[in-house]
Amino acid sequence: MKKTTTIVSLLFAIMLMTSNVFAGNIDTLQNNFEESEDIYIELSEPILSKARQYVDGLMNAHFDQVFAYSNEGFMLCLYETLYEDSDKYLNEGKVVSSEGEQIPFWDPHQERMLRIDRLVKDGYIMEDELTIEIDRKVIASILYRIYKDKIPFKGSVDYPDTEDIALRWAGEVGLPTFAVNTGLKINPEDSIKSDENFSLLYYPNDYLKIITYAYLMFPNPYSGNYVDLEFIKEDVNDIKAEKVKELITLTRKEVMKPRLGDFRRDVLNNENIGTIVDSYQKTKSHETLKKIYQILKDSFNLFEYQDNIGYLSYKFSVCK
């Protein structure tokens, strides 16, 4: 029995490897794109450049090496991805007189506090989250509060170590470090921060990768619009600028779909595709299998390991 299991596992691995080769490289490229820290270093620059101006040089706190690892740094970066009326909101009624002229009032500390206060006022940040460690559960909860109306939770993935909706939503929409295959542990209490000895410019915090992903892939919670990608003018980590834009546009569509979670629920017992599934189970036709694969690809945001016809063939062989 053990020998048979080993042979089946080996055959499955071979099927996955060969099917990935012939499926085209767009999906593999997309996965590498979403997971690459180098890509997010460059794509996060519009967020960082705004957040830095209220910190750099203040009390010798250099944003990239010190402040970025604080809760306040996380919240400043988050703020810059959300509010399109920031200048008007922050400057309204805040002027001082200087030699007869009215000029905007500007105080770096107060500017930071106004931004964080707004996040709290809008219900995105809870009071206790201002000081507790930003672990995986906290950041999932914050982003779920912000984006749940634009990208609702679909309940398509399950993790054995949590029933928390925000964490399951984070895996469902593919947040970096959260895109855990359904059925595996998502480790909600793990720290979200990387090694503090590294500069954020070269080794970004996980939270910055996550915020940048949400900024690029999700519609703005207020306007419903996606961020304009025209700021991407140069190649990113050896990927052509136009290809980067194409991959972001593709991912925006994918995150709106549910995941393929339970094979029996989503495929074998799916009434919408019952006829074609029954046909394949009777005939084992490769053409029918390809049609099922395309239906699933159109309907679900597939995890990388699922996104090939070899996986589908294997699941049909072991799930009766």
> At 223, which amino acid appears?
S
Sorting pLDDT into bands at 50, 70 and 90, what band is 278? very high
pLDDT at 159: 85
Indicate whether 194 pLDDT > 50. no
pLDDT computed for residue 4 by the predictor: 42
For the chain, helix (H) and strand (E) counts, in that order, are: 15, 2
Higher-confidence position of 3 and 55: 55
Would you say residue 56 has pLDDT above 70? no
pLDDT, mean of residues 104-110? 64
Question: What is the mean predicted confidence (pLDDT) over 193-212?
Answer: 57
- The pLDDT of residue 106: 56
Q: 50 pLDDT exceeds 50? A: yes
Q: Rounded mean pLDDT of the chain?
A: 78
pLDDT at residue 300 is higher than 60? yes
Q: Cα torsion for 158, 162, 167, 168, to the nearest 10°? A: 10
Q: Which amino acid is it at 238?
A: D
Neighbours of 125 (CB within 10 A): 24
pLDDT one-digit tens code per residue, 135-175:
788 889 999 999 999 999 999 988 888 889 999 999 899 88
Structure tokens at 131: 């000081």
CB 233 within 8 A of CB 241: yes
